[in-house]
Structure 1
Amino acid sequence: MDHLTRIDNALAFIIKVAVTVLGLFISFAMVGGIVFRALLDVQVFGLEELVLIAAMWLYMLGAALASRERSHLSADFFQAFSDNEALHDAMRLIATALSVVMAAFFVNWSYSLFSWGFDKGQVTPVFGIPQYISQGSLLIASILLLLYVLRDLIHDVSKLFRRAKAVAQ
């Protein structure tokens, strides 16, 4: 196993643990908030902002995992119209190339948002948590998305070249 695979597996493990912890936190926080408000008539200030930050990280890390496993939503409608594997590979390559372009725009946008939040120094109303903490989830997820889609592009190009080489022989 090469170094990149080890790093990827370690990162995926860390993300899976984080997603699990965040999911559990959000679930218990929501139930706790309901119990405190509805049954005990006690207001829990700041719980919503903690849940919002956790939800942002949960969604973005989940999106990164989906990108890593290539299990995100896709519209592979060419497979319904054609049995030509070369056409499927070419369409997958085009879709991946477009995804690289979109991911690069997303990294640029999320960096701009993160740096703007960092410069402005906005904080949450109850706990004073900097807004760039939640905005950082967008930046981290977009960087991971770009890395994974670049990996997919390399894979798709090499698959197309292997197919072309096999046909040529």
Structure 2
Amino acid sequence: MKTIMNCLARVDNILAFVLKAAVTALGLFVSFAMVVGIVFRALLDVQVFGLEELVLMAAMWVYMLGAALASRERTHLSADFFQAFSDSEALHDTMRLIATIVSLVMAGFFVSWSYSLFSWGFEKGQVTPVFGIPQYLSQGSLLVASVLLLLYVLRDFIHDISKLFRKAETQ
């Protein structure tokens, strides 16, 4: 069991490295492309056709992969207001578990919806107007992010359940 956990941790670290590299590279591309577009349009009075569709596609991937990284590190937005009202660690753990269960259900819906959108885009064969890039490439960012979200929320669920069981055993 420990070997499986070590292997999963190694895969997770590799995935996190790839995600961080992709977010960094795509973020730099979006920034550079925006500057190029502004300079060409404002200073040189030249239109750069198709730049917006490339920026939009890259921005979607940056946003979705960033959301997956936030989910991995549990740094996404949360409203943990029970901590302000109570010092009970048991209440905190229970509320965290409830929030994780709700997140798990929602993540399942997100996977279903994003798969429907991706498969619909694949079937329709929509493409961008300038470069003819298939729309499902940007829609795929939603599917990838929702699958990663589901996996990380599932990991959090297992962690929260095991934490509650460990505390119950020690009492």
Given the alignment of the two structures, is residue 136 of structure 1 paired with residue 168 of structure 2, yes or no?
no
Could you tell me which runs of 5 or more consecutive residues in structure 1 were left unpaired when the two chains were aligned. Answer: none
The match for 2:90 is 86
Q: For residue 2 of structure 1, report the CA deviation from its aligned partner.
A: 1.0
Q: TM-score, normalised by structure 1?
A: 0.98
Determine if the alignment matches structure 1 residue 113 to structure 2 residue 103: no
- The 2-side partners of 1:27 and 1:20 are apart by 11
2:105 corresponds to 1:101: yes
SS of the aligned residue for 2:132 comes to: coil
SS in 2 for 1:2: helix
Give the superposition deviation at 1:40: 0.5
How many residue pairs are counted as aligned between the two chains? 167
Structure 1 runs, 4 residues or longer, greater than 4 Å off: none
Equivalent of 2:6, from 2, 8, 20? 2
| CA distance in structure 1 between the aligned counterparts of 2:170 and 2:85, rounded to whole angstroms | 24
Aligned counterpart for 1:68 among listed residues 39, 55, 72: 72
Does structure 1 residue 21 correspond to structure 2 residue 25? Answer: yes
Cα distance, 1:44 vs. partner?
0.1
Provide the identity percentage.
81
2:16 to 12, 16, 32: 12
Structure 2 residue runs without a partner (length 5+): none
Q: 1:45 aligns with which of 42, 49, 52?
A: 49
TM-score by structure 2 length?
A: 0.97
Aligned position for 2:38:
34
